[in-house]
Amino acid sequence: MSIAVLAGLMWFTGMPIQEVLDTIGSLSPWAYLGALSFHLCTYCLRALRFWILIPKPIRPTYRRVWVLAGAHNLASYVLPAKTGEASWVVYLRTYTGVPSAPGIASLVVSRLLDAAVLACSISLACMYLGTVGDHSHLEEVAKYIAPLAIFGVVAGLISIRGDLLVHLLSVTLRFTKLHRWALGERLIEKVTQIAHAMRRASRGRSLGAAALVTVPVWFCIFGFYWLLARNMDIDFGFESRLTYPEAVFGSSFATVANLLPINGAAGGGTQELGWVTGFRLLGIENARALSVGLAVHFVQLFNVVAVGMFSHFVMKGMSKPARIDIEALAAESASLEAQLDPDFRSNLSTETEAATTEKPVTRVD
pLDDT digit string, tens, across residues 158-186: 666 665 666 666 666 666 766 566 666 66
The single-letter DSSP state of residue 241 is P
Q: How confident is the model at residue 303 (pLDDT cuts 50, 70, 90)?
A: very high
The structural domains of the chain, with segments of one domain joined by +, span 2-97+216-320, 324-365
Give residue 143's pLDDT: 73
Give the pLDDT of residue 292.
Answer: 92
pLDDT tier, 352 (very low <50, low <70, confident <90, very high otherwise)? very low
Give the pLDDT mean for 133-154: 72
Contacts of 14 (CB under 8 A, 6+ apart): 287
Calpha distance 107→100 (Å, rounded):
10
User: How far is 153 from 147, CA to CA, in rounded Å?
Assistant: 10
Collapsing DSSP states into helix, strand and coil, what is residue 15? Answer: coil
List C-alpha distances in Å: 248 to 64, 82, 106, 258, 352: 32, 22, 26, 15, 44
- Of residues 131 and 73, more confidently modeled: 73
- Split at pLDDT 50, 70, 90, the class of 360 is very low
DSSP type of residue 262: T
User: What pLDDT, on a 0 to 100 scale, did the predictor assign at position 330?
Assistant: 47
> What is the per-residue pLDDT across 41-86, written as a single tens digit (0 to 9) for each?
999 999 999 999 888 888 899 999 999 999 999 988 888 777 888 8
Q: Give the pLDDT confidence score for residue 295 in this predicted structure.
A: 92
Model confidence at 214: pLDDT above 90? yes
**Cα 92 to Cα 33: distance, rounded to the nearest angstrom:** 30
Between residues 7 and 294, the one the model is more confident about: 294
Residue 38 confidence class, pLDDT cut points 50, 70, 90: very high
Share of the chain above pLDDT 70, in %: 70
Q: Is residue 144 over pLDDT 50?
A: yes
Q: Which residue type sits at 83?
A: T
Between 8-17, 90-99, 210-219, 221-230, the lowest mean confidence (pLDDT) is in: 8-17
- 3-class SS string, the chain: CHHHHHHHHHHHHCCCHHHHHHHHHCCCHHHHHHHHHHHHHHHHHHHHHHHHHCCHHHCCCHHHHHHHHHHHHHHHHHCHHHHHHHHHHHHHHHHHCCCHHHHHHHHHHHHHHHHHHHHHHHHHHHHHHHHCCCCCCHHHHHHHHCCHHHHHHHHHHHHHCHHHHHHHHHHHHHHCCHHHCHHHHHHHHHHHHHHHHHHHHCCCCHHHHHHHHHHHHHHHHHHHHHHHHHHCCCCCCCCCCCCHHHHHHHHHHHHHHHHCCCCCHHHCCHHHHHHHHHHHHCCCCHHHHHHHHHHHHHHHHHHHHHHHHHHHHHHHCCCCCCCCCHHHHHHHCHHHHHHCCHHHHHHHHHHHHHHHCCCCCCCCC
pLDDT at position 365: 47
Stretch 299-322: mean pLDDT, rounded? 90
pLDDT digits (tens, 9 = 90+) for 251-294: 998 888 777 766 767 677 788 888 988 898 888 888 888 999 99
201 vs 281: which has the higher pLDDT = 281
Q: Give the pLDDT confidence score for residue 177 in this predicted structure.
A: 64
CA 355 to CA 321: how far, in whole Å? Answer: 11
Grade residue 191 by pLDDT with cuts at 50, 70 and 90.
low
